[in-house]
Amino acid sequence: MAPMTEPERRDFWEIAEDRYQTRSIVLTSQLPVSRWHEQIGDPTLADSILDRLVHNAHRIEMRGESMRKQLISLTRDLSLCGCFVTDKARSPKKDKS
């Protein structure tokens, strides 16, 4: 993944600044927080953005295998035992009335 470009950094800073202490921001990332500075690119803007994001933040870090990996493993195990899972089997039936 490439670091943010200058316009992306500026836009991200403007959003963080506009919402700081007035509105919520929900942010999800697969990139560890320890690598956000290098991903943002500009050290000064990174400090400014991260100050606004982490001040009064509620951080939830998830651990363990991803649900996608678990599903792939389960699907593989089911196919080995002769069971087949299709999209229709996974999704609930809709009432056509």
Q: What is the pLDDT of residues 22-57, one digit of tens each?
A: 888 888 888 888 888 889 888 888 888 888 888 887
pLDDT for 89: 47
Predicted structure pTM score: 0.58
Determine the straight-line distance between the first and last CA of the chain, rounded to whole angstroms. Answer: 48
Top-confidence residue, 70 or 12: 12
Percent of the chain residues topping a pLDDT of 70:
78
Phi/psi-derived region of residue 56, left when phi > 0, alpha when psi is between -120 and 50, beta in every other case? left
Residues 9 and 45 sit within 8 Å (Cβ to Cβ) = yes
> CA–CA separation, 57 vs 2, rounded Å?
26
